[in-house]
Structure formats: structure tokens, C-alpha cells
Amino acid sequence: MPMSSSRRGERESMSRVDTAWLRMEAPTNRMMITGVMTFTTPLALDELKQVIGQRFLSFRRFRQKAVDRPAGAYWEDDEDFDLDWHVRVTALPGKGRKAELQSLTSQLASSPLDQARPLWQFHLVERYGAGSALITRLHHCYADGMALVQVMLSLTDVEAQPLKKVELERAWLKRDRGTVTERLLQPARAGLRQASYLGGRMLSRGRELIEDPGKLEQLAQGGGEVLRELAVALSLSDDPKTRLKGTLGATKRVAWAEPLPLGEVKTLSHALGCTVNDVLLAAASGALRSWLLEQGGDIDGLTIRATVPVNLRPLEHARQLGNHFGLVFLDLPIGEPNPLRRVERVAECMQGLKRSKQAAVTFGLLAAVGMAPAPVQRLALELFSRKASAVATNVPGPQAPMYLAGCRIDDLMFWVPQNGSIGVGISILSYNGRVHFGLIADARRIPDPQSVIDRFAPEFEKMLLIALMEDWTAPITAADADATLARHATAVRRTSEKVQKTRGARVHRRKSVV
């Protein structure tokens, strides 16, 4: 139980799962959630600091340091708290365009936070385009991605002139309908306590169970549903070797793509009878497939896995901070050449995960890891890492424009850390009617993540076009795709004109603001 924290300087015990994320920190994978916001007008430092002081620091946790000791981790008030250290001003070299902002974000995502202070920082780029940019770094032990997005949105307003009080629900989707969170939430919650207990029991037997799948199968046959799920999760085969897997370095690189219209994604998902999440993850699979093929990889029939975080608490409770999510292993069918069949396979896998308690099981394992001896922690981390090649997150954001310190937020993106030897992170976030794609990758695995992220939109457009085919269930080759493009040249031209018109209107709005 947490100790009393009513007086300044007293300690508060850290939860087991938060402790696990604190102890996952490594030079090859910094356990930070990194975010970027861009603004249509310049953001003033003094006004930013005022908002952070009034709203961000209303969460007492952000004035506290994370202290790790062999007997357990705890939160402790920072007696020397200095807001100026946490809110920094920086500038981009040259003309300060997107490439320079991505380079700075990559550098910060690769750099550790100061363990002697509360583990978060804001970096204000005063001049970016016609406005400014804000890079945020926050250690995962403070909050999961869903909670952090909620916290960041609590700093914003729905009007340029801040109101005295804006209820968070006005700036956020009150219910997370139709997403992976909603579909997995209820079944995942069931059995959390049992999963945590069984996770501790299994990890206590360490390598014996992990290296002998037969014993895992025996446990699964004799136990209940949660125990069976736990045995299945631990006995998953290692992910196949591709250029995405291998030794990691200390350098991370980030990139983001031009956003897609959310309405078009919804239209395609309705036509295919699946969710928006299914379509977007299928597009991500296609982008990775295209890149791997260009690198000379043999991926025929290949399937890799991505770990997908699943929220395990009601959305309205996300502001309570901490980590309350499990992980599910989602198949990404990169060896499937037919784009729409990739959608089908992703949707089919998601349906199977919906009926499982895999998220609760991994939450229980993380809780057990947080209190396990260091050798067992490393073993468990290695276990999770071997079974996936990427981390994929999809967070629904507000569908109306938001303002921070009176400045309108144009674009926003975030990246969650990868654990262990996983070197690729895919981030999807919807905001103001658009879908934003981001990628973070270890420089040894993907030296130029922009070359991957730029394939997301073409993969989505390919799905749209092939959906027009009379028989898209038949095997499809590159020649088939070219023929489809030729037959539907008019539709392609109209789509292109629509995209250009939308982008032109966006540029005109930016200029009119200036």
C-alpha cells in the first residue's frame, strides 16, 4: 500500500508495474514517451511556463523524483525543483524545417533524462515555419500513453482565449468507441488479480518454464483460462529474423508522414466491414512489406508480430497517471501481397485477441517483473522482446482544433518506447479529422525511417483502389496492381485532385493566420 504523502518530502511507494517500466531503462531503449506538437503561430515561453505551472504541475507526481532501490522504488518530492530546468528553449539550424525538427526530436529521444530530477522536460522550438514546435519527453514510469495524452490535452483549450475551466470531456472523446481499446477492455479486465499472481509464480520458476514449452503446455492443460492464456503468451515462438530484428545501438530516429483524412479511412473500413484500427495497421504492414522488399528481404508468406498496448481502465480515469495497460501480440501479415487480404488477416487476429485475456496476462507479468530480482527481470524482458519486431499504438485524439497558451495546435504526434531488443515503434494518432502516422526506429535497424513512413499513404490509397476491383480476393501481383491503376485512372486522378485541393486549402489557412 502507498505510504502517506501528505507532507512535503515524504516518500510514496511506486506501483509494481511503474517500477517495471522504471527498471527497463537501457542505453539501447530509453523508456521515454516522446511527443511533438506544431503550432500555426509563435508560442511564447512565458505563457507556456504559466500553463505548465498551473495545469501540468497540478499533478503532484510531476514534482516528484523516481528513486529506485533494491528494496523497491518510490516517489520522492524534489526539494530543489526548478521549472526553468524542465522547460527549455532551443532553436533549429538552417531554415529550421521538418528535417531539422525530426533530427532534434531523434537526438532527444536518444538522450536520457536526469535521474536526479523529475523525469520530464519540454523543449520549445520558438521558430518553426510560421509558428513554433514543442517537444515533450516523459518517462514511462509516470504514465502510460493514454494517460499522457490526457494530461497533455488538459493543458489545452477548445478556444484561443483560455476559459477559466474546460472539462476534459469537451476536448476528448468521452467514449473510445470502435477502437482496439473499446473492443478489448472488458475481457482484458477480467482476471487481472489472478494474472498478476500467476505471473509471479511463473517468473519465479524462470528459465525452466521459458526454455521448456512442454511444461508450459502441462500447466495450461491443468489450469483455468487465465493460466492457459499465460502459458500461450510465454510459449509463443520467436519472431522471424528480418532487418527489423537484431542488435540495437544507442541512436533512435523519428519521422512522421503527412496526415490522412480520417473520413476516408472510416469510409474504407465501413466498406470492408472492419474497424479503422484494422485498416491503419494493415497500411502499416504494407509499408513495412514494401520497405523490406526494397531492402532485398525474402518475405513471402512471412508474418511478424507487434505488441499493442491495451488500456485496462475506463478512459475517464486516465488522468490518475501510472501504467494501467497490458500488451497483446498482433500479427502483421507482411508476406501477404494482397492489401485487402492483409486487412482481413489483421481484423481476424484482432477478433481473436478480443476474446482472449492476453492483455490482463501481460499486465500481470509486468507487475511480477517489477518486484522480481534483476536476473529474472532481464529474462522476462528478453522473453517479451524475442516474440515481436515492433510496438504499435493507436490513440484517438480530439476531433476539433485545440489551443495551447492561445496558439492553435496544427499537428501532433507521439512515440512510446520499445522494450528490450525491439527496435521499431509505430504510432497512429487521430486529431481534428486527420490521422497522423509516426515511426521511431533504432538507427541500426532502419537508418532512414522517413523512407518507411512515406509508404503509409500510398499503401492506404492502394487499398482504396484495389477495393474497386471486381474480384479482389484473387491473388494479386505487381502487374495486377498496375492494371487496376490503369483501369481506374479517372478515380486515381480525382483522388489526387482531392488530396491536392485539401492540402492547398490547408496551406492557404496557414498563410491567412500569419
94-118 pLDDT tens trace: 888 999 999 999 999 999 999 999 9
Please name the residue ranges forming H helices in 315-395.
339-354, 358-371, 374-386
Query: What is the length of the chain?
Result: 514
d(CA 511, CA 40): 9
Instruction: Give Dmax over CA atoms of the chain in angstroms.
Output: 72
Give the pLDDT band of residue 477 (cuts 50, 70, 90): low
Predicted structure pTM score: 0.80
Angstrom distance (rounded) from CA 286 to CA 434: 20
pLDDT at site 499: 41
pLDDT at position 225 is 54
What confidence score (pLDDT) does residue 372 get? 66
- Residue 326: pLDDT above 60? yes
Residue 28, judged by CB atoms within 10 A of its CB (0-12, 13-18, 19+), counts as: middle
Of 379, 402, 397, 290, the closest CA to residue 337 belongs to: 290
Compute how many other C-beta atoms are within 10 angstroms of the C-beta atom of residue 208: 10
The two beta strands, 32-39 and 304-311, are unpaired
pLDDT at 217: 52
Residue 467, pLDDT > 90, answer: no
Return left, alpha or beta for 183; rule: phi > 0 is left, psi -120 to 50 is alpha, else beta: alpha
pLDDT bucket at 484, cuts 50 / 70 / 90: low
Phi, psi of 135 (to 5 degrees): -105, 130
Among 55, 152, 50, which residue's Cα sits nearest to residue 402? 152
Q: How confident is the model at residue 492 (pLDDT cuts 50, 70, 90)?
A: very low
pLDDT digits (tens, 9 = 90+) for 20-30: 889 888 899 89
